[in-house]
């Protein structure tokens, strides 16, 4: 795959994960407002977005074809761990936009900005620390 193809695919998958994340947040927030519901929405959206992005990245970005509960568990754990820093960027940006403007539109804009920055960083972390065996096979086969 060319670099341009990889960037476009990764951006498309990031967009899918963002829409999934924000849709889950909207569902949780639909029932009301408040700090507890806001935190629950962010956590639920993040978890669903994380799972969607992992499945897409694993197969279509890093060409990791490994199977089995043990291998998925190990990879997903590393993938989620690499996401802790980037999640802090995302949550911080979303929360800052919410606290400044107090509108759902600006909250979601902050989320998209934070997720975009986070996904760029996350790609580099994942390629270096999570999908190392898949990338090694891909480089060897190139």
Crossing angle of helices 35-56/3-30, nearest 10°? 150
Mean pLDDT of 116-141: 80
Q: Is the distance from CB of 14 to CB of 123 less than 8 angstroms?
A: no
Contact 64/139 with Cβ under 8 angstroms? no
Please state the pTM of the whole predicted model: 0.86
- pLDDT value of residue 66: 86
The domain of 122 spans: 3-141
Number of domains making up the chain: 1
Chain-wide mean pLDDT for the chain? 92
* Residue for token pair 């951006």: 11
Give the model's confidence band at 133: pLDDT under 50 very low, under 70 low, under 90 confident, else very high. confident
pLDDT in tens, 22-71: 999 999 999 898 999 999 999 999 999 999 999 999 999 999 988 899 98
Name which of 8-12, 31-35, 91-95, 120-124 the model is least confident about. Answer: 31-35
């Amino acid at each position: 795959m060319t670099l341009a193809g990889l960037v476009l695919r990764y951006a498309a998958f990031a967009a899918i994960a963002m829409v999934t994340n924000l849709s889950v947040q909207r569902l949780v927030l639909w029932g009301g407002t408040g700090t507890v519901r806001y935190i629950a929405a962010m956590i639920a959206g993040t978890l669903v977005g994380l799972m969607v992005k992992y499945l897409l990245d694993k197969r279509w970005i890093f060409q990791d074809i490994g199977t089995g509960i043990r291998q998925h568990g190990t990879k997903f754990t590393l993938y989620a761990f690499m996401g802790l820093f980037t999640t802090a960027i995302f949550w911080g940006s979303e929360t800052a936009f919410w606290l400044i403007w107090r509108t759902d539109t600006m909250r979601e804009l902050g989320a998209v900005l934070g997720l975009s920055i986070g996904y760029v960083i996350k790609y580099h972390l994942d390629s270096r620390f999570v999908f190392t065996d898949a990338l090694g096979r891909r480089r060897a086969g190139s």
